[in-house]
Chains A and B, each alone.
Chain A
Amino acid sequence: MANTTNRFPVVRFILGLLLLLATGLGVAASDRLAPGSQAQQEEACVAPVPEIRRNHMNLLKHDRDLTVRKGDRDIKFSLSSCVACHAGKDSKGEAIPVNAPGQFCATCHQKLAVQPTCFQCHSAVPGKQQSAALNAKGRALLGRMRSLSASPEQIQELAQAHLGVLEK
């Protein structure tokens, strides 16, 4: 130990700095947002981006317990409001499921290979997006089609084609 001397302390410092920057601090958030989503027009998320990226699962869990077990609707982190803001829109203005491939959730979760299981139960589109013209059977059919990986345009086409039959 006594024989090693650091002739270039500056080099070590610069290398350390580069490593720190490589962790990706301060990366612009706007590249992750789905095109056409309301989030693109908002200035900021409900929490600073680095925090919400790291903690959104804990914040959602905490607030969901408040809502479900205590009936408190006045919460900051509600899954349905995340979906409402972050769901992208297709060319026709219809909302695309927020967990669809290439959409908002996938931009991080695909790389991390962590499945968000929220949408097994919760709706991945804002509101109750159903065509008013479809009856209950039609809504069920539309739902089943949505669970397959058809594009939104294909789904709408199929739904229209079945409209006449199912309304009887």
Chain B
Amino acid sequence: MSEHQGQHDAERRAFIGKSLAAVSLASVAPGVMLGVASASSGQGGVSDQVRLGLLIDTNKCVDGCTACVDGCNKENGIDLFQKPEGQDADMWEQQRPQWIRKVKVRDRATGVVTNLPLMCQHCEKPPCVDVCPTGASLKRPDGIVMVDRHICIGCRYCMMACPYKARSFIHSDVAEKVLQAPRGKGTVESCNLCAYRMDKGADQTACQEACSTAGYGAIIYGDLRDPESAISKALKSMPSVELRPDLDLNNGVRYTRI
């Protein structure tokens, strides 16, 4: 009997040993990819030596003109949205996706009226990024503040936090999808300084192009850190302010003659 037991133990040990070896060889931690396929190395990307922004000359901005709004809507597929059947017109105006809008302000003391386009101000210290619970609202290294809509859960906290009401929400299913602005129901979006268009080789944002085509040329886009860029030169040539300077957000979008 004892002889047999010795043999059993040896066999069992060998079996257990072999099966453990096989299991450890076969099991791989999830997410580890064996073999040839490997995702991109991630060495590229935008640099933080660049800070992108806009300068808007409100003197050139004309009352009643909506060229920049129309240009942005066409470029980013926003014009494909229509008021749903039976919805209140007021409600639609408040809830429709909008990346840029025309604002008219009147100085209380003097009565002077100023027109300006208002879009995401691409703050250096964005409140929307602070409040986002998932990290979907992000500031890119080059200063563009945008929403990663894969991560966005649609809570709209950023919409509440934004002092400029720059963000909008998609309330309905998207039928016609455009490559430059993939969007889906239940996510928040805002101006991204035409990042897709710029990556494809354009040198003007859609609003800038529309404004210069309309003959006013009130919008200049460029690299705020590059002293040779058109925007830097324009910023040096005339005084400019950011909207709501009391909030100390250091916006990338500046306005002159307000």
Give the interface of A toward B (CB within 8 A).
Answer: 1-2, 47-48, 51-52, 55, 58-59, 62-66, 68-77, 80, 119-124, 127-128, 130, 136-137, 139-140, 142-144, 146-147
The answer to whether B138 has its CB under 8 Å from any CB of chain A is yes
B74 touches A123 (CB 8 A): no
B155-185 CB mask vs A (1 if < 8 Å, else 0) is 0000000000000000001111111001111
Q: A51-B33, A120-B184 are in contact. Are A142 and B176 (CB under 8 A)?
A: yes
Which of chain A's residues have a CB closer than 8 A to the CB of B82?
137, 140
Give B95-127 interface residues, CB cut-off 8 Å to A. Answer: none
CB distance from B29 to the nearest CB of A (A): 13
B177 touches A73 (CB 8 A): no
A146 touches B176 (CB 8 A): yes
A1 touches B39 (CB 8 A): no
A62 touches B39 (CB 8 A): yes
B182 touches A68 (CB 8 A): no
7 smallest beta-carbon distances between A and B, as pairs: A143-B176, A70-B45, A143-B175, A121-B184, A51-B37, A71-B46, A47-B37
The answer to whether B36 has its CB under 8 Å from any CB of chain A is yes
Point out the residue from B173, B182, B187 that lies within 8 Å of A123, measured CB to CB: B182
The answer to whether B7 has its CB under 8 Å from any CB of chain A is yes
The total of Cβ contacts below 8 Å across the A-B interface reads: 116
Given contacts A51-B35, A144-B175, 19 further A-B contacts (CB under 8 A): A1-B8, A1-B12, A48-B36, A55-B37, A62-B40, A70-B46, A71-B45, A71-B142, A71-B195, A72-B42, A73-B199, A74-B40, A77-B40, A120-B174, A121-B177, A121-B182, A123-B177, A123-B179, A143-B174
A87 to B8, CA, bound (A): 60
Which of chain B's residues have a CB closer than 8 A to the CB of A74?
40, 44
Point out the residue from B36, B80, B183 that lies within 8 Å of A121, measured CB to CB: B183
Which of chain B's residues have a CB closer than 8 A to the CB of A130?
176
Point out the residue from B11, B42, B45, B174 that lies within 8 Å of A1, measured CB to CB: B11
A25 to B85, CA, bound (A): 52
Instruction: Offer 8 A-B interface pairs, CB within 8 angstroms, sorted by A.
Output: A66-B44, A70-B46, A71-B140, A71-B141, A121-B174, A121-B187, A146-B175, A147-B173
Which of chain B's residues have a CB closer than 8 A to the CB of A48?
35-37
A11 to B7, CA, bound (A): 25
The answer to whether B60 has its CB under 8 Å from any CB of chain A is no
CB distance from B17 to the nearest CB of A (A): 16
A58 touches B7 (CB 8 A): no
Point out the residue from A51, A58, A65 that lies within 8 Å of B36, measured CB to CB: A51
Question: Considering only CB atoms, which chain B residue lies closest to A147 in the complex?
Answer: B175
A80 to B180, CA, bound (A): 11
A76 to B40, CA, bound (A): 6
Classify chain B's interface size.
35 or more
Q: A68-B150, A128-B179 are in contact. Are A63 and B39 (CB under 8 A)?
A: yes
The answer to whether B86 has its CB under 8 Å from any CB of chain A is no
CB distance from B214 to the nearest CB of A (A): 18
The answer to whether B31 has its CB under 8 Å from any CB of chain A is yes
B80 touches A122 (CB 8 A): no
The answer to whether B149 has its CB under 8 Å from any CB of chain A is yes
Which of chain A's residues have a CB closer than 8 A to the CB of B174?
120-121, 143
Q: A63-B39, A77-B40 are in contact. Are A128 and B175 (CB under 8 A)?
A: no
A77 to B38, CA, bound (A): 10
A140 to B185, CA, bound (A): 16
A74 to B33, CA, bound (A): 21
CB distance from A16 to the nearest CB of B (A): 12
A51 to B12, CA, bound (A): 37
Question: Considering only CB atoms, which chain B residue lies closest to A79 in the complex?
Answer: B182
